[in-house]
Structure 1
Amino acid sequence: MSIRHSLLAMLQDRPRYGYQLKNEFEDRTGASWPLNIGQVYTTLDRLERDGLVRKEGADGEGHVVYRITAEGRTEVSGWFTSPVSRAVPSRNELAIKLALGLTVPGVDVGAIIQAQRGVSIKALQDYTRARRETAAQARPADTARLLVLDSLIFQTEAEVRWLDLCEARLMQLANPPR
């Protein structure tokens, strides 16, 4: 996830300070990916260093306000118009855990699968409930949250199916064909 580009995108409509950006990011994405405020300010410092934002000064309460620059607008425009690369897949901690678990003696990979399935099904239920509640409100502003929830639902459904496949492969290992 590109925090850098997300902050630039939110700065396009008006200047903001870090805590506003953090809260707005979480609101716009349905609080699916909480941001650490330290990460927000570190990213803003890098964006300023790279000439993509500039400090506007402080608001009446002493918060440092940031404004996007023309270079920042060009950067975020390029981000929006470029597809997300699939060339280097992001690391999947669960896949790594299962792959390594199969190669380390004494690890009960079946128990890992079962534990993860329980967590994944619970998450799927939570996402589905949140989606249903959000959709029931039928506010145009909730469309962004619905998109994020749909993505999380599809990813979690895929994970549960993949866990089923992993379990089937474990059973094949335990009972090889004669």
Structure 2
Amino acid sequence: MDRMKKTKGRQKIPIARIEKESDCFATFSKRRLGVFRKASEISTLCNVDIGIIIYSPTGKPFSFFHPTMESVVGRVQNPNPRLVNDASRLLEAYTRNRVFQLNQMLDKLAGELEAEKERETQLDEVVKSQTGGGGQGWWGEPVDNFNKEQVEEFTGWLKHLQSELVKELEKRAS
């Protein structure tokens, strides 16, 4: 059965002024985040200082600075790094170190997330292999398909569950 596409998907749009005000606001919001993300990537990858100030169509300013606004503005005002005071250098070094640590933590968490996704895929494959590809476990099968041992095991599990529920109900009632 053919399924028709419901949307046009991603398309290249011509670079021209957006006349419709609501579209302009939506585009600004989406593109602003993309610009800041790219600025963050370039500052991390190339170890550069970067500062961006963007004014929205309504006149509200948005900014991104790395490592800090003071260090970027200070470098614009005084390009000679030898004339910067020690306190500014210490603050900048601390900020760079903190950003580096946070990026390492982010990379570590991304690796853990990837490992968990791989583990989930493996567990899904195990469930499929045990259920014959149907994706359901013993709870999805008719009781008629159980052998005597499975029925006894299931009955014991249900009795245990019932006793735990009764205990919880009594605990909440008192």
Specify the TM-score bucket, using the shorter chain as the normaliser: under 0.3
Task: State the structure with more CA Rg.
Answer: 2
TM-score normalized by structure 2? 0.24
RCO greater where, 1 or 2, for CA within 8 Å and sep 6 or more? Answer: 1
TM-score normalized by structure 1? 0.24
